[in-house]
Amino acid sequence: MTNTQDFNVPSDLLGQHLQTARKAARLTQQEAADHLGVARTTIVAMEKGERKVQPEELIALAEKYKVSMHDLLRQRPPSGGLDVQFKAYFKKRGMADPSVGDRLEQAAALLQRNAENYLELEEKLESPLPKNYPQEYDISGLPVEIAADEVADAERRRIGLGEGPLGNLREVLETEVGLRIFALELDSRVSGLFGYTDELGGCIALNSKHPPERQRMSLAHEYAHFLTARMRPDVQVYRHGSRVPEAEKFAEAFARRLLMPAKSVTRHLRNHIRQHGKPKVADLVYLSAYFRVSFEAYVRRLEELTLLPPGSYDRLQFENFKPREAQKLAGVTEEIPEGQFSRRYILLALECLERGLITEGQAARYLEADRLGVRDLQEQYTRQSGLAENGELGWMSWQMDVDVNVRSR
């Protein structure tokens, strides 16, 4: 193994870091080559450790990839190998559109980099993420719906969630279970990614382009894979007209049950009927917001529980019903999306900066912000320290007059 003398880093290790950074920057080898004014084969050789990287080339690539020299000159290899797992996953399944496969590989590399940064911050503060992982649930031989009911109920009991609507699911799964969760810009057809390694633990990427309620459903979906098939990576891709694998059917069923437990959904709907009479569409708009899920997910859950006739949502859709417009008419506040990083991640970075363990420039790199953005975060978190998140939605006056045919049970 040859050393890159100028940097005192093994050539093959430097190549690994260059490849990880390039993919996380969503750049192809050709784009990197064009930036340096070299052939693509030169970039290939650099990433394989077969061609020495000149100092000016490294500086140019660090600038293009938007990473620090520190990232590229790390003395340890990339942690865990999430990107390697996903590469094998993509190769095994194949991609009809090569560009989609490239974008997914880049998303996996970005998840890898974020998870590594999270681990680095923890190591600097000697504050590891507490892991409260259950043994994998064995659902083999069970019908999808029964398995989903059992696992969702067991998890709610295990981490003390009760039967009511969940608050900040992302924060719960991070602090109570120990998952690393990020909101990243993914291909619009991709809802989420999940991967696991012993070093990094369970890691999930959600699509930041999607509405908060859809991200929450995607998070519950990926959590199902963590609970039942931890060592197998997953990519949640929109499938139109294709056969859905059993594992995906289970994950979808689990997500509905985790976010909308049958007892809680039924009880709240019955209470509303007793107090206000036969519910209208506007009432269902409110109740879907109460459970922090989309209107479609809530109505289809009512259909699944036989509280609404089959096809109720499809009928509304046929009548050109628009949930977003209905939310505005009903006075339901639109939820603000969460950021790329969790509260804990941000606080770790700010704590490292406060203690002098990292510079302001390094904090900006960890938080993917400029220096002014870092200072704004410092001020914001100092000002808001100790304040609880206010996610409550009060009862509103409904003026919408479309009746809903709710069934009694």
355-377 confidence digits (pLDDT tens): 999 999 999 989 999 999 999 99
The answer, yes or no, to whether residue 4 has pLDDT greater than 50, is no
Taking the C-alpha atoms of residue 185 and residue 171, their distance in angstroms, rounded to an integer, is: 20
Taking the C-alpha atoms of residue 290 and residue 276, their distance in angstroms, rounded to an integer, is: 17
Over the stretch 46-104, which tens digit does the pLDDT of each residue have?
998 889 998 899 999 998 988 878 778 876 666 557 777 777 777 666 554 555 666 77
Residues 92 and 133 in one domain: yes
Q: Has residue 23 been placed in a domain?
A: yes
Tokens of 306: 């036989």
Q: Has residue 345 been placed in a domain?
A: no
Residue 144: helix, strand or coil by DSSP? helix
Taking the C-alpha atoms of residue 16 and residue 283, their distance in angstroms, rounded to an integer, is: 54
Q: Has residue 385 been placed in a domain?
A: no
Q: Which positions ≥6 away from 205 have C-beta within 8 Å?
A: 107, 110, 111, 114, 181, 182, 183, 184, 186, 192, 193, 194
Taking the C-alpha atoms of residue 407 and residue 266, their distance in angstroms, rounded to an integer, is: 11
Tell me the residue range of the domain where 235 lies: 80-259
Residues 166 and 194 in one domain: yes
A 10 A CB-CB count for 9 gives: 19
Helices (H), 180-240: 212-228
Q: Has residue 304 been placed in a domain?
A: yes
Q: Which of 78-87, 244-253, 272-281 has the highest mean pLDDT?
A: 244-253
The answer, yes or no, to whether residue 2 has pLDDT greater than 50, is no
Q: Has residue 404 been placed in a domain?
A: no
Taking the C-alpha atoms of residue 4 and residue 8, their distance in angstroms, rounded to an integer, is: 6
Residues 111 and 9 in one domain: no
A 10 A CB-CB count for 348 gives: 22
pLDDT over 70, % of the chain: 87
Q: Look at residue 170 in the predicted model and tell me its pLDDT.
A: 94
Q: Which positions ≥6 away from 353 have C-beta within 8 Å?
A: 359, 360, 362, 363, 374, 378
**Count of domains in the chain?**
3
Q: How far is CA 243 from the centre of its chain?
A: 24
Count Cα atoms within 13 angstroms, Cβ side, for 142.
Answer: 16
Residues 89 and 192 in one domain: yes
Q: State which of 241, 259, 277 marks the end of a domain.
A: 259
Alpha carbon separation from 291 to 114, 150, 174, 265, 333 (Å, rounded)? 30, 20, 20, 8, 14
Residues 55 and 138 in one domain: no
Q: Are 290 and 259 in contact (CB under 8 A)?
A: no
Residues 183 and 93 in one domain: yes
Tokens of 333: 């506040």
Q: CATH number of the domain at 21, please.
A: 1.10.260.40
Q: State which of 273, 295, 330 marks the end of a domain.
A: 330
Tokens of 346: 């941000």
The model's pTM:
0.78
Q: Has residue 348 been placed in a domain?
A: no
Residues 150 and 293 in one domain: no
Q: Has residue 352 been placed in a domain?
A: no
Residue 348: helix, strand or coil by DSSP? helix
Residues 218 and 309 in one domain: no
Residues 134 and 277 in one domain: no
The answer, yes or no, to whether residue 262 has pLDDT greater than 90, is yes
Unique residue bearing structure tokens 């804990």: 344
Unique residue bearing structure tokens 């992302």: 170
Residues 140 and 199 in one domain: yes
Q: Residue 338: which of 186, 230, 206 has the closest Cα? A: 206
Q: How far is CA 141 from the centre of its chain?
A: 29
Residue by residue, DSSP assigns 249-314 as: HHHHHHHHHHHS-HHHHHHHHHHHHHHHSSPBHHHHHHHHHHTTS-HHHHHHHHHHTTSS-TTHHH
Q: State which of 279, 298, 330 marks the end of a domain.
A: 330
Q: Look at residue 338 in the predicted model and tell me its pLDDT.
A: 85
Averaged pLDDT of the chain = 84
Residues 313 and 287 in one domain: yes
A 10 A CB-CB count for 27 gives: 21
Q: Look at residue 96 in the predicted model and tell me its pLDDT.
A: 46
Residues 1 and 136 in one domain: no
Q: Is 80 left (phi over 0), alpha (psi -120 to 50) or beta?
A: left
Q: Has residue 29 been placed in a domain?
A: yes
Q: CATH number of the domain at 172, please.
A: 1.10.10.2910
